[in-house]
Structure 1
Amino acid sequence: MPPAVLIISLLLLAHALGGCDSRPTAGAPPPPPVTVARPLEKTITEWDEYTGRFTAVETVEVRARVSGFIDSIHFSEGQVVKQGDLLFVIDPRPYTFAVEQAKADVERAKAKLQIAALDLQRATPLVRSQAVTEREFETRRSTERDAAAQVASLEAASKQAELNLEWTQVRAPIAGRISDKRVDAGNLITGGQTGATLLTVIVSIDPIHFVFDGSEADFLRYMRLSATGARPSSRDVQNPVAVRLADEPDFRHQGRMNFVDNVVNPKSGTIRGRAVFDNKDGLLTPGY
């Protein structure tokens, strides 16, 4: 539209000057100078704005796998932790005793296996000379197999006891920023797969997700652009995005799309999208 407006303005000016030539007026001021610029051609990227929130890529509720009394706590609340850092120590003494008991049971079973193996070894030449009946030989061989199975079973129980002892040290399953402790040292906690006591929560920092909802109309427009080849779908290509925080004047944080949901919410008429941003300085925080 600017070129058209500019051209119309120039035609009106020429007509006015022609009228001035037909009837000159003494002392009339000269016409003002006019600057004319050539129109420029450039590709303009259209942007759509959405409001959303940052969410952590990973969120872990830290719970113990074994029960017991909290012996000590080894982190500062709100600090950044690395994967594998020691967080809590549960009193290990009952589990240490269980490991020692399991190892003793294994040694006892191995001794019985050794005796059964020797009995079978002695019976092998005797069965050929019929000094030992086939039934007696089969009984000794069955006893030896049973003893071997008992050893294997107790070795597995010993490994489980060692694993339980290892689980008395609760370590960070992921790297990120840790929340406050939900229990203090000296408290009895419950471990296991169900009903375990919540100890704390860790959220990852870098990278970070940005989740937003787009309207059904925008979703249809993007789908049609993808169908015509004008713009690839964010389900197939990580299209660029930018975000600004509440106190920032411009969109300075650059990211990329990495997920579009598979359904439109029938209640709100919106579809959920997600972008991912690098967050090496930790400025972007879940919940923004």
Structure 2
Amino acid sequence: MLAVFRTGRSVAALGLLTLLGACQQENTYVPPPPPTVGVANPIQKTVQPYLEATGNMAAVNSVNLVARVQGFLQEIDYKDGAAVKKGTTLFVIEPEPYKLKIDQAQAALDGAKAQLLQSQTEFGRQQALASRQISTQATLDQARATRDLNQATVEQDEANLQQAQINLGYTHVDAPFDGTVTQHLVSVGELVGTNSPTQLATIYQLDPIWVNFTISERDVQTIRAAMAKHGITTADIVGKVSVEVGLQTDHGFPYKGVIDYIAPNVDPSTGTLNVRGVLDNKEARLLPGYYVRVHLPLRPVDAVLVPDEAIGADQSGRYVLVVNASNVVEQRKVTIGETFDGMRRILSGLTAKDKVIVAGLLQAAPGQKVVPQVQQITATDPDTEAK
């Protein structure tokens, strides 16, 4: 019995050891293989950077049409909102009273000329008499004074006639330039110009058209530093550097023009510099008062570009993940710029030789070993403008 019992204990012990051995083999930790990630070198190429701004359109010329003489409005010779040519008569204020004033001024002038002629004749006669000592010096002086007074009267009456003719011209309110006229603000038969000039309507010149926008003081300093570096002056910009404009509903910037004014000072209240561009607007698609997106091209630069999806963000800023020579993931802090052809410009923190993780980002973490697979990155939308 004892032998059997011992044998049984031996068998049980052997089975327990076998079981323990089996358990130790099953619990051995086998690390997973390194994740596979897609890597690519940043694209390096020359790009055209742009300065972005928000601008508003303004008419090159806009004038309030007013009644400069008093009278009843006799005619309105245009349709509200119509495009008119320079010199087109838009309003007529009753001209008859002003025609009569011209006749009165002409009659007064004719009378003054007759008196002048008589006084000139008398002065000549008195000169002849005085030379023969028949007439006194006092009589000659009186004749001279009368002649001079009549001459002044003629000149005054000539001025009155010219003023009367000018006032008659004011009875016709004409378009001062090609433009579009707003709705009329007075009606036919209404008395206008009683105490002060009465506004009748407003005319706007729509072609060409201005775009006004501002540049921040920081951008101004950056641009001026670049100008100084390349020997560029303001005279090299005005009338030569292009400006692009897009409406809120436009894709891209379809309207092209040139810079035609740069303010000589930065506004201290806003810290911005006022800039203006002028654009062709023959189809009148741009209207005064529109808020628009403005693109101002800067000098081309060599840029390092990566896909936007390869860029992450945390509390310290933007970063990308790169794979080093040991296939270990590193986090690189970067400064980003605008986009070009769907690619984001990296201003600092990255070189064209770095292997940037562009696929499998969720599987990569800084300090982790990975299996890199080289991929090619290309622009996603060649027509995309810089943002």
2:52 is paired with a residue whose SS is: coil
2:274 paired residue number = 272
**What are the residue-to-residue correspondences of 1:241-260 with 2, within 5 Å?**
241-260=243-262
- For 1:282, give the aligned amino acid: A
- For 1:175, give the aligned amino acid: D
Closer, same or farther in 2 for the Cα pair 1:202/1:191, shift >3 Å?
Answer: farther
2:199 paired residue number = 198
1:263 is paired with a residue whose SS is: strand
Deviation digits for residues 143-198 of structure 1 (CA, Å, limit 9, x no counterpart): 11211111111111111111111111111112111111111111111179xx3111
2:372 paired residue number = none
2:51 paired residue number = 48
2:229 paired residue number = 228
Taking the aligned partners of 1:112 and 1:233, their CA distance within structure 2 comes to 66
What number of residue pairs does the alignment pair up?
Answer: 249
Taking the aligned partners of 1:88 and 1:51, their CA distance within structure 2 comes to 38
2:165 maps to which of 162, 166, 176 = 162
- For 1:226, give the aligned amino acid: M
- TM-score after normalising by structure 2: 0.61
**What are the residue-to-residue correspondences of 1:11-160 with 2, within 5 Å?**
42-160=45-163
Deviation digits for residues 115-138 of structure 1 (CA, Å, limit 9, x no counterpart): 212212222322122221111112
CA contact (8 A) 1:234 1:259 kept: no
Deviation digits for residues 70-117 of structure 1 (CA, Å, limit 9, x no counterpart): 111111111111111101101111111111111111111112112212
2:374 paired residue number = none
CA contact (8 A) 2:67 2:193 kept: yes
1:210 paired residue number = 211
- For 2:135, give the aligned amino acid: V
Identical amino acids, percent of aligned pairs:
34
Closer, same or farther in 2 for the Cα pair 1:132/1:120, shift >3 Å?
Answer: same
- For 1:260, give the aligned amino acid: I
1:94 is paired with a residue whose SS is: helix
1:7 paired residue number = none
CA contact (8 A) 1:62 1:198 kept: yes
Deviation digits for residues 189-224 of structure 1 (CA, Å, limit 9, x no counterpart): 1179xx311111111111111111222221111111
2:99 is paired with a residue whose SS is: helix
- For 1:256, give the aligned amino acid: V
- For 1:176, give the aligned amino acid: G
CA contact (8 A) 2:86 2:175 kept: yes
1:21 paired residue number = none
Q: Going by fraction, where is helix more abundant, 1 or 2? A: 1
Larger Rg: 2
- For 1:118, give the aligned amino acid: T
Taking the aligned partners of 2:220 and 2:283, their CA distance within structure 1 comes to 33
CA contact (8 A) 1:106 1:154 kept: yes
- TM-score after normalising by structure 1: 0.80
**CA shift at 1:41, angstroms?**
7.2
1:285 maps to which of 280, 284, 287 = 287
**CA shift at 1:241, angstroms?**
1.6
**CA shift at 1:256, angstroms?**
1.2
Closer, same or farther in 2 for the Cα pair 1:235/1:125, shift >3 Å?
Answer: closer
CA contact (8 A) 1:68 1:189 kept: yes
Taking the aligned partners of 2:170 and 2:225, their CA distance within structure 1 comes to 54
CA contact (8 A) 1:120 1:144 kept: yes
1:49 is paired with a residue whose SS is: strand
Taking the aligned partners of 1:48 and 1:127, their CA distance within structure 2 comes to 87
Taking the aligned partners of 1:148 and 1:245, their CA distance within structure 2 comes to 65
CA contact (8 A) 2:68 2:198 kept: no
